[in-house]
Each structure stands twice: as C-alpha cells, then as structure tokens.
Chains A and B, each alone.
Chain A
C-alpha cells in the first residue's frame, strides 16, 4: 500500500539526542514480517528475490551489502523472519514474495509503519543498551539479531558500523526515545 506521491512520516520525525552516545530516530525503514517454516518450497528464492540474502541462522541476520545500509533478513523465531529494505521497495518485495511462495503456506505483511527505528552511535553506544536491555551486549555475536526488552517494552537490535540499530513498536517511540536519551546522558558512562 505504499505510495510514492505521499511522503511517509516516521514516529518522531527524526528526533535526536547527543550524550555520551548519539541517539537518532531514523526511518521510516522498510520492514516485512515473513512467516514461513524453513524448508517451505521456494522460501530461499523468495527471500533472495525480496532482499537478496539467504535465510539467516537462529538469532542471526544476513545482509546483502553492509549492515544498516542494505537489505537484510533476520531470524525472529522458528517460523518468522524480518526482512529489512528501503521503505519505497516494500510493495515490490511483497509482490516478489507472493510470487515466489505461490501455493505455499506463508504470510508476508508490511510492518514498516508499525515500527520505530533508532540508531545509537558512538564508542560507548553499547552502554546505552546495557542500561535498558537484559542482553549481554559485550558478547553479541557478529551478525546477531537480539530480540529483547527495552525497559518496559519489546525491542530488537543489531550491531552495525559505529553503533547499533534498535527497533521498537511505533506507538512507544516517544517512550523509547526518552529511555535512550536518559541512558545516554553525558556523565552516566558505565566506565
């Protein structure tokens, strides 16, 4: 349902905060929830066609091109994947998925607008997340997609060049921005 004539507005209009790490709301970013069991006929080709990657391993992301700038596919659960791509390409990708998975049991839906996306950047960006997420940031594997809790709401993040990308639900974008800003305040470095 995306349309080139109308300009989509992200939840916070690109809010940002500068502390010991820099926090920016980015987006809108294209996202597709793809539900299908691995082994579904045509699934690999469908993902390849949509975002150009293979299927990710458990808790991993695959990127075509560098993380955050390209297209990617993340493992969300045993039968759910998160496809990431430019917002404007979602319709085309959905059509490609539909085509490749024709006759198979799968569900692909546009969730780009259901999400808010944040970049946390800087040498100590991980500390901002360590204050909010019960996740072992220091042991994050390369290419790991970490689904977790951000204080009181659900979230997921991955590491990229110079920082992290965090995804939350759109309705709580203001809350998450508040959390990230509070946690990134200068002087509150964890060491």
Chain B
C-alpha cells in the first residue's frame, strides 16, 4: 500500500494540513502536495479507468506527462474535467472525482470491454462501423459518443475569470531546472532582458531529487543561490506555475500561468495566457522518462522510476513497502537509493542488461540489493494494485523463472528529451545512438525571420541528461544565446555538477524481447487511449508503414497527454515490426499545446459583456430605455423596432411605417459610413470609384452613387455630397464604412499613389438622424435656427448651420420616399438633438422607427439594399440602375468587368417587382422554378426573390426579385416556391410600388 512517510518531504509543509475529497471520501494532505501525492499518501492507488477497456489505472508519473490520473475537479461553475492530479496543487476543500467509470470506480461494468479486448483491436471502429452506412448516424455514432472521452464537458457557466497578457524579451528561458537557471544567469548577467518560465511552483527541476551535487554541495544550495542572484537582476523576470505550451513563428511563444488554480474563489483570475515575443527562445524543458513495455505495465502500482523517487523525496510518500525496480539503464538505481534512504525495501532490481557495471549499481550492490541482470518482467501480478512480478530472461519468450512479491514496480526505459518547443516551429531531430533517444539536430534548427535559429535547446532537453552534462551544456548554450543576441557575456560564476559515471543503457522496446501475442496484448504503450504493443504490430501487418498513419489508425499518442510516454516506445515497436531503423520511421508531428490549455485562458477576457466589441450610436441608451428591440448590423446594435406594450414586433413595425407616411418618423442613421475625400484629384478619384460622375456635382448638392469592384459587381452605395470645391463627403452603407475606406486607401496607396487625394473616415464623428414624413419640415422649423423650406433647401441639397442651437449639417435626402431630412451633428450632441426632435415633434405625432420600417419603406419605393438585392454576383445593370452608370467616362472601377460577355449578356436575371395574386407575402429566399433539371439533377430556376414584405401602406405583400429577362416580362404571372410545398403565384410588376414619380419626397 502507498502511504505517507513520517519524515522528509522537501516540498510539503507538515504544519499546514489540508482536507480534500476523492469520490466523496474525505482525505488529508499537506500544503505543497500535488493531488497525486496526496492521493498516494491516502493509499488511493486506483484513480481512474482506462478509455477503451475500463482497466483500473493508477498514478504513473509525477508531472505533466501523466496519462492516467485525470480527474474531475470541482462542481457546478467550477467543474473541470481531465485535470492532471500530478500537476494539480492541493488546496483545502479540493473535491475531485474519478472519470470514465460506471457505476463506481471500484466496480465498473465497462470493464467487460477488457475481457473482450481481443475483439477491440486497432482500427476496430473503422472496420466495424462502416457498414451499413445509415447505421453510422443512428446506431453507431450514439454508441461511440457515449463511450468517447474521459471527462464530461462542464454544463454550467464558468464562475472564474481569465485574462491574457503580452510580454517581450530578448531571451525566453523555458524550464526552471538547473539548466534553465544556469542559462538565465548567463543571459541575465550579460544584460539581456530575460523571462524565465517554470511550469511547476518549484525551481530546480529534478536535481534535488536525483541527489545531484553542484559546486561540492547538494544541488538545492546552488539553486537557492542562483535564484537569489537572478532575483536581484532587474532585467530578469521569473515566473513559476507558467507553462510555455507552444512556439510559433518569429519568436512567439504562448504560455499558460496558473494564477489562482490552487486558490479558487480568491478573486484573482484563474489562469492567464501569456503571449510572449522573444528574440530567442532557450528551451530547457528537461526530459521525460519512458515506461517499459511488459505485460501488466498499466496495473496501479507500476510507476516510472523517476516518479517513485519524486514521491519519496518531494512529498514523503511511499508508493509501497516493497518495490521492484525494472530498468535498462543506470539512472533507475537512483530510485533504489532514494527508497533505501527512506527506509523502504527494494525487493529486487530487474535489469535487462547482461552486464551491469556503473557506479550507481555498485552502490546498490554494496547495500545488498538483489540485482537480476539479463532479466525482464514477464508480467505483473495483481488487478487493482500490484501484488508481485514474474521475471524471466529478457532474451527469452516469457518463461517465468521466478516470482517476486511486491506492492510497487518502478520502471525505467531511458529518457526522451522534451523537444516540443524546438519542434513546434520546424526544428528537426536526430537519433542519439548512445542514449537511444531523439534530440534536437543542431544542424536543422527552427529558423526565425533573419534565418538564424529561433530556439536554442539546453540541458536535458538537448540530450545532456546528467547534471554535469546539463550544466555544462546550459552554460555553452547560454553563451551562444547571448552571442546570438549580439550581447557581450560577462564572467559569471557558473555551476558545475560532480560527474557520476553511468554505463550505457540498452534499448528495450518489448520485455521480454521474444514475448508472444498473449503477453503483447497486455503491454501498454499508450495508457490513456489503451493502445498496446499488439495494436501497433497489427497496424504494421495491415500495411500502415507511416508513423503518422499508424498514429491515427491505432490512436497512439492522440489522447490528452499527446503520447508523452508512448510515442517513442510506439514508434520503436513500429520500426521493429517494419524491420526499419527508428530514425527511418521518425516521429509524428509535435503540435501545440504541450499540455491541454483551459479554453477559458484562450478566450481570456472575451466573454460576457466584452465577448465582442459592441458598437453603440450616441443614442443607443435612449433606444434601449425605450425598450427598442435591437438587431445586430455588423458590430452595431440598431433598433429593429420600438414595440409598445402589447405590440408584436410586426405590429410595431407597421405602426412606425404608417405613422411616418402619415405624419413624421425619426430614424437613428448614425451608423452610416461617412468618408471625407479632399484634394486636387479628388473629383477624378471619385469618378473612378463610383459608376456615375461625382466631379460635376455642384457644391451644396447631393448625388446617389454606386461603387463596384474590379469585377463589375455592385459593392456599395450611398449619397455623395460636395462640401467644397475640393472636398466631398461620401456616405456608405453601415456595414461598408471601414471596408470602403480601406478600399479607397488601397487604391490611393498602391495604384494611384501620385494622385493628390486625402481621405478621412469620420463615420463616428457624427450622429445622423433621419426625420421623414409629411410633417418633417414642421418639426425642423419648430427647432428653428435654419431655413429648411423647399426654396432654401431643395431636394438633394444640403446646408450647414445651427438647428435648435446645435451645429448641424442638414441634407434633403430620402430613403423612405417621404419628405425627409438627414441631420448630422457632432456625436457628442447626438442625444441632445434626438431628444430635441422628439420634443419638437410631439405635437405632430413623431415616432421613432427602426431598421425594419426603414427596410419596408425603401422596398415600397423600389430602392435597392446592398446585401438584399446584391450578393456579390449582381451588377448595377441587373438592378435597372443603368441611369447611374456613366456612359461618358473613359473608365471607372468595374467598367471593364461589366463588358465581359456574361455580364453584358441580355439574358441576365434582372430586378422587377412582384405582387402575389392573392395579396400574400412571398417567402424569403423563394425561387421561381423553371422546367427541367441541371447537370446536378437540381431543379432549374429562372429567378428569386430578394426583398419581400407585407406593405402596411399598400395593405398587401410586395416583393422585389431577380428574374431572367424580368423587365421584358411585365404582367406575366410566375410561380414562387414555398417551404411547405406548392407555389405562390405572383405578377411581374414595376418594383416601385409607391409614388413612382417621387412627388412625395420633393415637396
């Protein structure tokens, strides 16, 4: 059984006891524990069930690489699935539950999959669920979805908050182990701006646990001194609990800081995403120990040898009284020494190597430890926890020579450098034949903007596994980084570790090497996704020769741990099955994130009220106070209508229209784009941008214009006013303001850079209010200050002056067909003008109207709307706007496009009006079908509706639409499709339903 030792534990504070619960069971731990350490201290070895076979699983590792011990944390708005117990700091009141079991962790019915394992091999889903096809959606998919995934998605809104932050540095050092500290010290002393990140709360990495001696003293002394020295450097920033999870082009690195993960509810952000721009990145991420592939290597109690000594030394947790150490290298003997040092029993060391000669084994021998050389574990005994191991010849096929009772197994298959940040942005690896591992190939680094290496690996991450090598490599790489930054290094006292003589490891990918199928079906490679040696071999037999394909076929390395423990073992097994060299098979692609990142951290502040920028007009609050129903228009929210008590939106819209047509209405048109264009070449410029002529527009006048793209398609429209001899003001659609301004600048900066034109987007400078209706003039006259009579201010002109004491520009333009004024005032007077108009209009029955009333009123007048009548495939000629296309101009944007045969064809769909025979409203998006089918077997069509409304003015359905040769087919009756089936008959009519001569607006 696992338990807490009475002494030791360098990271725990025994005076600070903490209570927590696991599956409702109350447990105790100490401040400084990880959840995994605390669980083991409470003899909770079984922590979860595996993904596919629901096998009992325990804690394997002690860090970010943990595949098994994932739990649900918290509840309600703080519920989080798949939390790694090995990186979760214990806090008082922590509540965790295990995952992927039913009905309970100890008794799980899903475990029948385990007994059916021979029927669930690699590719099972692909093979089984393909046929019959319809079964996928209704039978297979629901089953697979039910069984997929470990944790459950949170159901409630996240109670915590998150944020992001930007940081900049010369050198980003990732990893606060001894290599990272050494490199940071060098760069810091050289004056570089350094950020040093460490994913755990502690500095120094493995060195203190491994008993490394630096400068003649235990590593901790050097670590403390180095931290103190770094702390004094103003140019060095240290960040613990911050995991760099991805490196990207140009020295961009993302990191997740666990700010209040361990202090939930204290008001701080739970996590913070750091977006770091570094000139160079020094990756001192360390290395991860590899498991060994022997039968039963997933039974709770089988752990990585390094994790066993971490638990003993860091948290005073004994994984068991009697441990068997299984290894192919000398490093695992450090675990033997640690266990013995804590007064625990090491039943035996099973060493796959025939010759065991290093200094560390010699120490173990001197302690009288039984060392079985040339042996391997044939299988582990036990179900929910280890009870013993059967050992045999590593060179054999699995004949059991001996059985050793034990309650823990510490395994070590060698180490793999963490090469993720090196590889994310393109760094290549090469195979180290001494340590049998992939390490960064210095000849093929990831390259930054100037062609120089972007990531500099150091220490264990660079393959320098021992403390002595790591410190000397970090010194070398640190100096190289300083040089690469163009700085001069200053002499700094550097740490030197005592070298420990270690004999070569022996590559062991299967234990024993001649094991048969029965054993191989119990040798786990990927614990989390339940991928075994037999699965990879099956994939190879079935023709999956690429490691990338094998990964996807078997799901090796595709779980939340991304194969930190399994990838190298898996591809070694694949290489063996393919009779290839390991480097010839290669690795799968390393992609960010290194470990899973909370989606909240990626979203940062973007949630709730500030999820997205919401654009508000100066009158926005007034509209909301009136209970306006708002609709999104780009990022703006505009009043759709202003429903009164008991009114439906439709009723409100109809009331607003009838009131405007009979009396007077007001529209907040502030969102309209407004771009000032000025310069000696401004007229020429606008003549190119608009299809009609703007250079001839007299000062003081307004003209409607169309803009096309180079293809000839209609892109935007609006009223242009000429403010002065060399100055125009272009109104654009609400959604088009920024785009059209960018379009103008694009042409001015890239194509016509020698034209003397300046533009300025003044959209937000002005609040704009349309006052429309027969009584509109009276309302303005009541405000006073300006002559707005027909004579002084005729249709399609404007005047500047003061209206009701406010500085205003008043345009006589109309989108409703009524007598209409559009009044622009500086935005900070917008609300004042709006309220003044409401007050002045009270006697005349003024009502505000929303965008829907505006849409219907313009449709009654046959005015087109960009985005309704246009969709990027429509040219002005299609809409009967030939009058707005200059025949005289030599050129304008779109002219040449419109001359192409398809656009110039007389056979195009063209704008007409439609009136249903029964007065009903044609459905939105309805088509006019034609006889026959096209090449895809779809019904042919000859037209479609583009705008369709009930007109309260005309008391019938009206519509505009595009119809093949439409204008030539007046009075013809066509049929529109209906969603419910059948068709609606409609007569082709003039699209201008109301006041075709425009008399109402010109009064």
Q: Is A162 an interface residue (CB 8 A)?
A: no
The answer to whether B805 and A6 touch across the interface, beta carbons within 8 angstroms, is yes
Which among B269, B763, B807 is the interface contact of A1 at CB below 8 angstroms?
A: B807
Q: Contacts of B268 on A, CB cut-off 8 Å?
A: 187-188
Q: Is A69 an interface residue (CB 8 A)?
A: no
The answer to whether B765 and A179 touch across the interface, beta carbons within 8 angstroms, is no
A174 CB to nearest B CB, Å: 6
Q: Contacts of B612 on A, CB cut-off 8 Å?
A: 152, 175
Which among B164, B826, B832 is the interface contact of A110 at CB below 8 angstroms?
A: B826
B201 CB to nearest A CB, Å: 15
The answer to whether A113 and B606 touch across the interface, beta carbons within 8 angstroms, is no
Cβ proximity bits B555-568 to A, threshold 8 Å, 1 near / 0 not: 00000000000000
Task: A6 to B758: give the CA distance in the assembly, Å.
Answer: 31
The answer to whether A3 and B807 touch across the interface, beta carbons within 8 angstroms, is yes
Cβ proximity bits A13-37 to B, threshold 8 Å, 1 near / 0 not: 0000000000000001000010110
The answer to whether A3 and B166 touch across the interface, beta carbons within 8 angstroms, is no
The answer to whether A35 and B758 touch across the interface, beta carbons within 8 angstroms, is yes
Which among B164, B615, B727, B802 is the interface contact of A131 at CB below 8 angstroms?
A: B164
Q: Contacts of B764 on A, CB cut-off 8 Å?
A: 113-115, 169-171
Q: Is B839 an interface residue (CB 8 A)?
A: no
Task: A35 to B161: give the CA distance in the assembly, Å.
Answer: 42
Contact A107-B166, Cβ < 8 Å, known A9-B828, A171-B636: no
The answer to whether B828 and A153 touch across the interface, beta carbons within 8 angstroms, is no
A interface residues, tally (CB under 8 Å): 54
Q: Contacts of A9 on B, CB cut-off 8 Å?
A: 618, 828-829, 831-832
Cβ proximity bits A153-171 to B, threshold 8 Å, 1 near / 0 not: 1000000000000000111
Contact A131-B610, Cβ < 8 Å, known A6-B829, A113-B766, A187-B266: no
Q: Contacts of A1 on B, CB cut-off 8 Å?
A: 800, 807-809, 825-826
Q: Contacts of B676 on A, CB cut-off 8 Å?
A: 107, 109
Q: Is A106 an interface residue (CB 8 A)?
A: yes
Chain B contact residues (Cβ within 8 angstroms of A): what range?
35 or more
The answer to whether B166 and A134 touch across the interface, beta carbons within 8 angstroms, is yes
Which among A11, A28, A110, A130 is the interface contact of B167 at CB below 8 angstroms?
A: A130
Cβ proximity bits A120-136 to B, threshold 8 Å, 1 near / 0 not: 00000001001111111
Q: Contacts of A35 on B, CB cut-off 8 Å?
A: 758-760
Give residues 614-653 of B contacting A (CB, 8 Å): 614-618, 635-636
Q: Is A141 an interface residue (CB 8 A)?
A: no
Q: Contacts of B826 on A, CB cut-off 8 Å?
A: 1-2, 8, 110, 112-113
Which among A6, A109, A135, A178 is the interface contact of B806 at CB below 8 angstroms?
A: A6
Give residues 127-177 of B contacting A (CB, 8 Å): 161, 163-168
The answer to whether A175 and B762 touch across the interface, beta carbons within 8 angstroms, is no
B665 CB to nearest A CB, Å: 23
Task: A107 to B678: give the CA distance in the assembly, Å.
Answer: 6
The answer to whether B605 and A131 touch across the interface, beta carbons within 8 angstroms, is yes
Task: A153 to B763: give the CA distance in the assembly, Å.
Answer: 16
Q: Is B953 an interface residue (CB 8 A)?
A: no
Q: Is A142 an interface residue (CB 8 A)?
A: no
Task: A185 to B260: give the CA distance in the assembly, Å.
Answer: 14
Cβ proximity bits B82-117 to A, threshold 8 Å, 1 near / 0 not: 000000000000000000000000000000000000
Q: Is B489 an interface residue (CB 8 A)?
A: no
Q: Is A111 an interface residue (CB 8 A)?
A: yes
Which among A133, A138, A152 is the interface contact of B606 at CB below 8 angstroms?
A: A152
Q: Contacts of A138 on B, CB cut-off 8 Å?
A: 168
Contact A131-B765, Cβ < 8 Å, known A107-B758, A113-B826, A188-B269: no
A105 CB to nearest B CB, Å: 5
Q: Contacts of B808 on A, CB cut-off 8 Å?
A: 1
Cβ proximity bits A44-64 to B, threshold 8 Å, 1 near / 0 not: 000000000000000000000
Cβ proximity bits A74-88 to B, threshold 8 Å, 1 near / 0 not: 000001000000000
Q: Contacts of B766 on A, CB cut-off 8 Å?
A: 113
Cβ proximity bits B804-835 to A, threshold 8 Å, 1 near / 0 not: 01111100000000000000011111011000
A25 CB to nearest B CB, Å: 12
Q: Is B598 an interface residue (CB 8 A)?
A: no
Task: A140 to B405: give the CA distance in the assembly, Å.
Answer: 66
Give residues 244-262 of B contacting A (CB, 8 Å): 259
Max count, chain B CB within 10 A of own CB: residue among A8, A106, A139: A8
B131 CB to nearest A CB, Å: 47
Q: Is B517 an interface residue (CB 8 A)?
A: no
B670 CB to nearest A CB, Å: 9
Q: Is B42 an interface residue (CB 8 A)?
A: no
Contact A3-B237, Cβ < 8 Å, known A172-B613, A188-B163: no
B197 CB to nearest A CB, Å: 13
Contact A172-B168, Cβ < 8 Å, known A107-B676, A131-B605, A191-B237: no
Q: Is B267 an interface residue (CB 8 A)?
A: yes
Q: Is B679 an interface residue (CB 8 A)?
A: yes
The answer to whether A111 and B765 touch across the interface, beta carbons within 8 angstroms, is yes
Task: A5 to B635: give the CA distance in the assembly, Å.
Answer: 33
Q: Is B609 an interface residue (CB 8 A)?
A: yes
Q: Is A95 an interface residue (CB 8 A)?
A: no
B585 CB to nearest A CB, Å: 40
The answer to whether A183 and B605 touch across the interface, beta carbons within 8 angstroms, is yes
B204 CB to nearest A CB, Å: 21
Considering only CB atoms, which chain B residue lies closest to A174 in the complex? B616
B685 CB to nearest A CB, Å: 13
A153 CB to nearest B CB, Å: 5
Considering only CB atoms, which chain A residue lies closest to B801 in the complex? A1
The answer to whether B165 and A107 touch across the interface, beta carbons within 8 angstroms, is no
Give residues 711-730 of B contacting A (CB, 8 Å): 727
Task: A10 to B808: give the CA distance in the assembly, Å.
Answer: 18
Q: Contacts of A178 on B, CB cut-off 8 Å?
A: 609-610
Task: A174 to B636: give the CA distance in the assembly, Å.
Answer: 12
A86 CB to nearest B CB, Å: 14
Task: A40 to B610: give the CA distance in the assembly, Å.
Answer: 43
Q: Contacts of A173 on B, CB cut-off 8 Å?
A: 616
Q: Contacts of B827 on A, CB cut-off 8 Å?
A: 11, 113-114, 170
Q: Contacts of B828 on A, CB cut-off 8 Å?
A: 8-11, 28, 112-113
A85 CB to nearest B CB, Å: 15
Considering only CB atoms, which chain B residue lies closest to A33 in the complex? B760
The answer to whether A175 and B610 touch across the interface, beta carbons within 8 angstroms, is yes
Task: A191 to B239: give the CA distance in the assembly, Å.
Answer: 9
Considering only CB atoms, which chain B residue lies closest to A90 in the complex? B826
Considering only CB atoms, which chain B residue lies closest to A115 in the complex? B764
Contact A2-B807, Cβ < 8 Å, known A8-B828, A187-B268: yes
Q: Is B492 an interface residue (CB 8 A)?
A: no
Cβ proximity bits B742-771 to A, threshold 8 Å, 1 near / 0 not: 000000000000001011101111100000
The answer to whether B832 and A6 touch across the interface, beta carbons within 8 angstroms, is yes
Q: Contacts of A105 on B, CB cut-off 8 Å?
A: 679-680, 756, 758
Q: Contacts of A114 on B, CB cut-off 8 Å?
A: 762-765, 827
Considering only CB atoms, which chain B residue lies closest to A1 in the complex? B807
Considering only CB atoms, which chain B residue lies closest to A133 in the complex? B166
Q: Contacts of A151 on B, CB cut-off 8 Å?
A: 604-606, 610, 613
B529 CB to nearest A CB, Å: 37
The answer to whether B765 and A110 touch across the interface, beta carbons within 8 angstroms, is yes
Q: Contacts of B614 on A, CB cut-off 8 Å?
A: 172, 174-175
Considering only CB atoms, which chain A residue lies closest to B767 in the complex? A113
Query: 10 A–B contact pairs at CB < 8 A?
Result: A1-B807, A105-B679, A106-B758, A107-B676, A107-B727, A113-B829, A152-B613, A170-B618, A171-B615, A182-B163
New contact pairs (20) apart from A134-B277, A139-B168, A174-B616, CB-CB < 8 Å: A2-B807, A35-B758, A105-B758, A107-B676, A107-B758, A110-B765, A112-B826, A112-B828, A115-B764, A127-B165, A133-B166, A138-B168, A151-B610, A152-B612, A171-B616, A172-B614, A178-B610, A187-B269, A188-B163, A188-B269
Chain A: residues with CB nearer than 8 A to chain B?
1-3, 5-6, 8-11, 28, 33, 35-36, 79, 105-107, 109-115, 127, 130-136, 138-139, 151-153, 169-175, 178-179, 182-183, 185-188, 190-191
Closest 8 CB pairs of A and B: A8-B828, A1-B807, A107-B758, A171-B615, A113-B827, A114-B764, A114-B765, A178-B610
